[in-house]
Amino acid sequence: MSIEDKLVKSVSPDFEERVFSRVFNIRRPSDRRPEAVLVAENEQDVADGVKWAKDNGLSVTVRSGGHSWAVWSVQNNTLLIDLEHLNKASFDEATGIASAGPSIQGGAQLDPFLAERGRFLNGGHCPPVGIGGFLLQGGQGWNQRGWGWAAEHIVALDVVNADGELIRCDATQNEDLYWAARGAGPSFPGIVVKFHLQTRERFTYLGHSVQMFELEDFDEAFTWLQEIEPTITDTVEIVAVSQTSPEGMFDTPRRVFIITAVALVNSREEAEAALAPFQLNPILDRAIVNEPCMESSLESHREMQLQMNPEDHRWYCDNMWVEGEFTTVTKSLKKLFTEVPSQKAFTIWMGNGLMRPLPDMAFSLQSPGYVSCYFVYEDEKDDQYYRTWLNDAMAEAQPVTVGQYLGDSDMTNRQLKFMADENYAKLQEIIAKRDPEGRFVRYLAADPATVNKNHWEL
Ligand SMILES: Cc1cc2nc3c(=O)[nH]c(=O)nc-3n(C[C@H](O)[C@H](O)[C@H](O)COP(=O)(O)OP(=O)(O)OC[C@H]3O[C@@H](n4cnc5c(N)ncnc54)[C@H](O)[C@@H]3O)c2cc1C
């Protein structure tokens, strides 16, 4: 079958279905459509698709797991190459390197595969997210504060370049693409058809600390959390969440503030020691719930993630890297944590206060705290209200906002910095050299001329 025969074009009755197949966010663009969709069976199809796009004067977009909130894979004047079938994994016992196709689901598929081999990659929290988009934008995975960005574990990539050639990229060959792949996100000038990833020995015990507070305690609890977070050992992931109380807990569910910490270690004793500092919280007597160290598992955390991140919903989210004096940060984030006007919506803060130095790669912007707010809803008529509310709340946090993480961003709505200036300049040089004709789409932004700048600083 020729590549032409494998394309689904706009005249096909399947076209709309193929365009949005596997797209997680039901809030989809009405004004963007590709010219055709290619569901690649293998790497050769990907290469042939890029050549077909070149011959037909189109750019290329890619879908791995379909979890881009902003639906980056759907753009005008493009061939959309869907990598659904490139989802196999293999493992080399001698090196501990796992090789995996880009559409494998990090939590639901790759992690169980590695668990059977006693290995771990600190992949994403939500099970169905594809490793393709996740790794290219940095990858905020399990215990990122201690074990680094998931992209730091990429040792090599197999890439189809702008000429439709399959090439290997690592520290010694095609180094420029290896550098770019670790952070460029949706402006990477190529299609990754396989990732080679350094895994680590798997932890054997998971301890979970949970403290729940009423919203009136937010200021004190959150300011204290920021103070102690950098002192906690590097095997603990620390997250604060504003969410509606679990079903059945109160007669009428209400929003609460939760401090959670997960120790990924090798014994109960180790977990208890790692989580002990949380018991020093000076307002612990006001906690509605205090669980110092429950035994837990990644399976149960995955289940919780699936409940908080339901399919078949409309989503609106935005995010920021925050830095500042702790009480100022608390004040600036108060609206996002205490006034969210939707039952299913949630706001998170992830501690990154250890601030490990980053290796030389495109990904280059981080700060002591990461904040993201997610609206989860069903009715289209709420789109505008949630968007406006979130933009207002994000504006209140501008005094402590350093920039944003590509993974939770939508630059058609709000543009922020996501990369150090020198890294962004270097990336543009690599793109100009590797993809001079613009075969691959660039960042989808309201104003392409001001990408990588905080909009209020322009
Ligand atoms: C429910 C949910 C939970 C999430 N949790 C986390 C989390 O814990 N940590 C985190 O860091 N992020 C998280 N994210 C964000 C997520 O990592 C990003 O949206 C990421 O882009 C999704 O990757 P994907 O392959 O599934 O998406 P896709 O929509 O398939 O891809 C997004 C874009 O990435 C580029 N791309 C993807 N694959 C390739 C490839 N093989 N070659 C070249 N370019 C490619 C393309 O530009 C593509 O349009 C979450 C998202 C959702 C919806």
Q: What is the pLDDT of residues 36-93, one digit of tens each?
A: 999 999 999 999 999 999 999 999 999 999 999 999 999 999 999 999 999 999 999 9
Q: Are residues 253 and 126 in the same domain?
A: no
**Does any domain span residue 457?**
no
User: What type of residue sits at position 408?
Assistant: D
Q: Are residues 253 and 220 in the same domain?
A: yes
Confidence at residue 157, expressed as pLDDT on a 0 to 100 scale: 98
Give the distance (Å) from ligand 1 centre to CA of residue 388: 24
Contact 275, 290 (CB under 8 A): no
* Protein residue with its CA nearest to atom 41 in ligand 1: 192
Confidence at residue 107, expressed as pLDDT on a 0 to 100 scale: 94
**Does any domain span residue 27?**
yes
Q: Are residues 66 and 125 in the same domain?
A: no
Count of domains for the chain: 3
- Interatomic CA distance for residues 155 and 15, integer angstroms: 37
Give the distance (Å) from ligand 1 centre to CA of residue 68: 5
Is the shortest distance between the CB of 351 and ligand 1 below 6 Å? Answer: no
* Protein residue with its CA nearest to atom 47 in ligand 1: 186
Q: What is the CATH number of the domain that holds 345?
A: 3.40.462.20
Pick the atom of ligand 1 nearest to 86's CA: 41
Q: Are residues 310 and 403 in the same domain?
A: yes
Q: Are residues 11 and 123 in the same domain?
A: no
Q: Are residues 146 and 246 in the same domain?
A: no
What region, left, alpha or beta, does residue 42 occupy, with left being phi > 0 and alpha being psi -120 to 50 degrees?
beta
Is the shortest distance between the CB of 24 and ligand 1 below 6 Å? Answer: yes
Q: Are residues 331 and 184 in the same domain?
A: no
From first to last of the 458 residues of the chain, give the pLDDT tens digit: 899 999 999 999 999 999 999 999 999 999 999 999 999 999 999 999 999 999 999 999 999 999 999 999 999 999 999 999 999 999 999 999 999 999 999 999 999 999 999 999 998 888 999 999 999 999 999 999 999 999 999 999 999 999 999 999 999 999 999 999 999 999 999 999 999 999 999 999 999 999 999 999 999 999 999 999 999 999 999 999 999 999 899 999 999 999 999 999 999 999 999 999 999 999 999 999 999 999 999 999 999 999 999 999 999 999 999 999 999 999 999 999 999 999 999 999 999 999 989 999 999 999 999 999 999 999 999 999 999 999 999 999 999 999 999 999 999 999 999 999 999 999 999 999 999 999 999 999 999 999 999 999 99
Confidence at residue 124, expressed as pLDDT on a 0 to 100 scale: 83
Give the distance (Å) from ligand 1 centre to CA of residue 149: 14
Which structural domain range is residue 62 located in?
Answer: 3-82
Q: Ligand 1: which of 59, 62, 86, 121 to mutate, judged by most atoms within 8 Å of the beta carbon?
A: 62
Confidence at residue 1, expressed as pLDDT on a 0 to 100 scale: 85
- State the angle between helix axes of 383-396 and 326-338 in degrees (0 to 180), rounded to the nearest 10: 170
Is the shortest distance between the CB of 134 and ligand 1 below 6 Å? Answer: yes
Confidence at residue 303, expressed as pLDDT on a 0 to 100 scale: 93
Q: Are residues 97 and 239 in the same domain?
A: no
Residue with tokens 């037909």: 56
**Does any domain span residue 226?**
yes
Instruction: List CB contacts of 106: < 8 A, sequence separation 6 or more.
Output: 65, 121, 123, 124, 127, 129, 130, 131, 134, 141
Q: Are residues 153 and 30 in the same domain?
A: no
Of the candidates 140, 172, 202, which is a domain's last residue?
A: 202
Q: Are residues 174 and 218 in the same domain?
A: no
